Amino acid sequence: MTLILAELAWWQQTSIRVVVGLVAVLIPAGTLVYLHLFKLVSFMQSRLGPMEAGPYGSLQLLAEVGKFIQKEDIVPRRADRFVFKAAPFVVLVSTFLLVVVLPGGPDAFFIDNDLGIYLALAVSSVSVIGILMAGWGSASKYSLMGGLRATGQLIAYELPLILAVVGVVIQAETMNMQGIVLAQADGEIFGWGGIGNPFVITQFVGFAVFMIAMQAELTQTPFDMPVAESELVTGYMTEYSGLRFLLFFIGEFATAGVFSAIAAVLFLGGWYVPGLDPADNLFNVLGPVVLMVKIVGLSFLIFWFRFTFPRFREDQLQRLAWKFLIPIALANIVVTGVLKVLV
Amino acid sequence: MTAAPPAAGEQLRYIAGQAADARVNLEIETEGMTLNIGPQHPATHGTLRIVAKLDGEQVIAAEPVMGYMHRGYEKLAEVRTYPQVTTLINRIDWLGSFANEVPFILAAEQLMEVEAPLRAQWIRTALFELSRIANVTLFLGDMAVQVGAITPVFFAFRDREHVLNQIEAATGGRFHPNFDRIGGLKDDLPAGWAAETKQALKKIRNFCDQIEELVEGNEIFQARTRGIGVIPAKVGLGYGLSGANIRASGVDWDLRRDAPCGLVHDQLDWRVWTHPDGDSFARFWVRLQETREATRMVDQLLDGLPPGPIMAKVPRIIKVPAGEAYVETENPLGIMGYYVVSKGDLAPFRVKIRSASFSNVSITPWLLKGVYVPDIITILGSLYFILGDIDR
Amino acid sequence: MSSADAGAGAAAVAGADPVREGLLEALAAELGPALVGSELRAGRDLCVRVERGAWGPLAEYLRSGLGFVYFGFLSAIDWLPSPFGRDMDSQVDNALDPPEPKDPGPMQTGAAGGDTRFQLLARVNDPAGRRSLTAKADLPDDDLRAASWTPVYSGADWHEREAWEMFGIDFDGHPGLRHIYLPSEFEGNPLRKDYPLLARRVKPWPGIVDMELMPGEGPGASTGSDGAEAP
- CATH number of the structural domain spanning residue B298: 1.10.645.10
Please say whether the beta carbons of B49 and B39 come within 8 A.
yes
Residue with more model confidence, A130 or A233: A130
Asked, for residue B50, whether it belongs to a domain, the answer is: no
B79 vs C72: CB contact, 8 Å cut-off?
no
Is B151 within 8 Å of chain A by CB?
Answer: yes
Please say whether the beta carbons of C227 and B316 come within 8 A.
yes
Question: Which residues in chain B have Cβ-Cβ distances shorter than 8 Å to C75?
Answer: 339, 352
The answer on pLDDT for A65 being more than 60 is yes
B42 vs A145: CB contact, 8 Å cut-off?
no
What's the number of domains chain C is made of? 1
Q: What is the pLDDT of residue C215?
A: 59
Residue of A nearest to B34 (CA): A141
Is C109 within 8 Å of chain B by CB?
Answer: no
Containing structural domain, residue C188: 16-94+110-202
State yes or no: cis peptide before A222, omega within 30 of 0: yes
B316 vs C213: CB contact, 8 Å cut-off?
yes
Residue A195 burial (CB count, 10 A): 17
Asked, for residue C89, whether it belongs to a domain, the answer is: yes
pLDDT tens, position by position, B108-127: 988 888 888 989 999 999 99
A313 vs B218: CB contact, 8 Å cut-off?
no
Please say whether the beta carbons of A73 and A241 come within 8 A.
yes
Exposed, middle or buried, B23 (CB in 10 Å: 0-12/13-18/19+)? exposed
Under 8 Å CB pairs connecting chains A and B tally to 79
Q: What is the pLDDT of residue B56?
A: 74
Question: Which residues in chain B have Cβ-Cβ distances shorter than 8 Å to C205?
Answer: 79
Residue of B nearest to C2 (CA): B115
Asked, for residue B196, whether it belongs to a domain, the answer is: yes
Which one of C2, C70, C164 would you mutate to disrupt binding with B, by most B Cβ within 10 Å of its Cβ? C70
Is B73 within 8 Å of chain C by CB?
Answer: no
Q: What is the pLDDT of residue A3?
A: 55
Q: What is the pLDDT of residue C127?
A: 87
B148 vs A46: CB contact, 8 Å cut-off?
no
Is C6 within 8 Å of chain B by CB?
Answer: yes
The answer on pLDDT for C43 being more than 80 is no
A308 vs B376: CB contact, 8 Å cut-off?
no
C72 vs B237: CB contact, 8 Å cut-off?
no
DSSP-assigned beta bridge partners for residue B36: B51
B79 vs C71: CB contact, 8 Å cut-off?
no
φ, ψ of residue C206 in degrees (nearest 5) = -80, -15
Residue with more model confidence, A200 or A262: A262
Do chains C and A touch by CB distance (3+ pairs < 8 Å)? no
For C223, the closest of B241, B259, B316 (CB atoms) is B316
Please name the residues in contact with A62: beta carbons below 8 A apart, sequence gap of 6 or more. Answer: A53
For B315, the closest of C6, C210, C223 (CB atoms) is C223
When the pLDDT of each residue in chain C is averaged and rounded to a whole number, the result is: 74
B72 vs C190: CB contact, 8 Å cut-off?
yes
Is C149 within 8 Å of chain B by CB?
Answer: no
Secondary structure letter of residue C13 according to DSSP? S
C123 vs B354: CB contact, 8 Å cut-off?
yes
- CATH number of the structural domain spanning residue C90: 3.30.460.80
Q: What is the pLDDT of residue B12?
A: 58
In the stretch 201-230 of chain B, residues with CB closer than 8 A to chain A read 214-215, 218, 220-221, 223-224
Is B68 within 8 Å of chain C by CB?
Answer: no
What's the number of domains chain B is made of? 1
The answer on pLDDT for C94 being more than 80 is no
- Of A329, A321, A322, the C-alpha closest to A162 is A329
Q: What is the pLDDT of residue B21?
A: 57
d(CA B97, CA B331): 10
E strand map for chain A: none
Q: How far is B345 from chain A (nearest CA, A)?
A: 48
Which one of B18, B213, B373 would you mutate to disrupt binding with A, by most A Cβ within 10 Å of its Cβ? B373
Asked, for residue C56, whether it belongs to a domain, the answer is: yes
Least confident of A9-18, B179-188, C35-44, C202-211: C202-211
When the pLDDT of each residue in chain A is averaged and rounded to a whole number, the result is: 84
B224 vs A312: CB contact, 8 Å cut-off?
yes
For A314, the closest of B35, B214, B374 (CB atoms) is B374
Please name the residues in contact with A323: beta carbons below 8 A apart, sequence gap of 6 or more. Answer: none
Containing structural domain, residue B112: 73-391
Least confident of B21-25, B53-57, B139-143, C1-5: C1-5
Q: What is the mean pLDDT of residues A282-295?
A: 84
C123 vs B70: CB contact, 8 Å cut-off?
no
Secondary structure letter of residue A109 according to DSSP? B
d(CA A140, CA A137): 8
Least confident of A82-86, B5-9, C190-194: B5-9
C127 vs B259: CB contact, 8 Å cut-off?
no
A312 vs B223: CB contact, 8 Å cut-off?
yes
In the stretch 229-248 of chain B, residues with CB closer than 8 A to chain C read 234-235, 237-241
Q: What is the pLDDT of residue B286?
A: 92
| Confidence at C207, pLDDT banded by 50, 70, 90 | low
Please name the residues in contact with C96: beta carbons below 8 A apart, sequence gap of 6 or more. Answer: none
Question: Which residues in chain B have Cβ-Cβ distances shorter than 8 Å to C83?
Answer: none
Percent of chain A's residues with pLDDT above 90: 3
Is B311 within 8 Å of chain C by CB?
Answer: no
Rounded to 5°, the CA angle B330-B336-B340 comes to 130
- Give the chains touching C; criterion: ≥3 Cβ pairs < 8 Å: B
Q: What is the pLDDT of residue B288?
A: 92
Question: Which residues in chain B have Cβ-Cβ distances shorter than 8 Å to A238?
Answer: none
Q: What is the pLDDT of residue B287?
A: 92
Is C186 within 8 Å of chain B by CB?
Answer: no
Q: Are strands C170-172 and C145-147 parallel, antiparallel or unpaired?
A: parallel
Please name the residues in contact with A208: beta carbons below 8 A apart, sequence gap of 6 or more. Answer: none
Please say whether the beta carbons of C99 and C214 come within 8 A.
no
DSSP-assigned beta bridge partners for residue C70: C125
B322 vs C6: CB contact, 8 Å cut-off?
no
Least confident of A196-205, B23-32, B218-227, B338-347: B23-32
B258 vs C70: CB contact, 8 Å cut-off?
no
Which one of C107, C180, C222 would you mutate to disrupt binding with B, by most B Cβ within 10 Å of its Cβ? C180
The answer on pLDDT for C5 being more than 70 is no
A45 vs B155: CB contact, 8 Å cut-off?
yes
Is B24 within 8 Å of chain A by CB?
Answer: no
In the stretch 131-150 of chain B, residues with CB closer than 8 A to chain A read 144-150
Please say whether the beta carbons of B318 and B310 come within 8 A.
no
pLDDT tens, position by position, B273-302: 898 888 899 999 999 999 999 999 999 999
Q: Order of strands, edge to edge, in the sheet holding B323-331? A: B323-331, B334-342, B350-354
DSSP-assigned beta bridge partners for residue B54: B33, B59
DSSP-assigned beta bridge partners for residue C125: C70, C132
C132 vs B259: CB contact, 8 Å cut-off?
yes
Instruction: Report the length, in residues, of chain A.
Output: 343
Is C134 within 8 Å of chain B by CB?
Answer: yes
Asked, for residue B239, whether it belongs to a domain, the answer is: yes
Q: What is the pLDDT of residue B133?
A: 92
When the pLDDT of each residue in chain B is averaged and rounded to a whole number, the result is: 84
pLDDT tens, position by position, B29-63: 566 778 888 777 776 666 788 888 887 778 888 88
Please say whether the beta carbons of B330 and B243 come within 8 A.
yes
- Give the chains touching B; criterion: ≥3 Cβ pairs < 8 Å: A, C
d(CA B168, CA B158): 16
The answer on pLDDT for B219 being more than 50 is yes
| Confidence at B204, pLDDT banded by 50, 70, 90 | very high
Asked, for residue B46, whether it belongs to a domain, the answer is: no
For B42, the closest of A46, A233, A310 (CB atoms) is A233
Secondary structure letter of residue A8 according to DSSP? S
For chain A, domain boundaries = 73-342
Q: What share of chain B is helix, strand, coil (3-state, %, to 5)?
A: 50, 10, 35
The answer on pLDDT for C128 being more than 50 is yes
Quote the ipTM score. Answer: 0.82
φ, ψ of residue A118 in degrees (nearest 5) = -65, -45
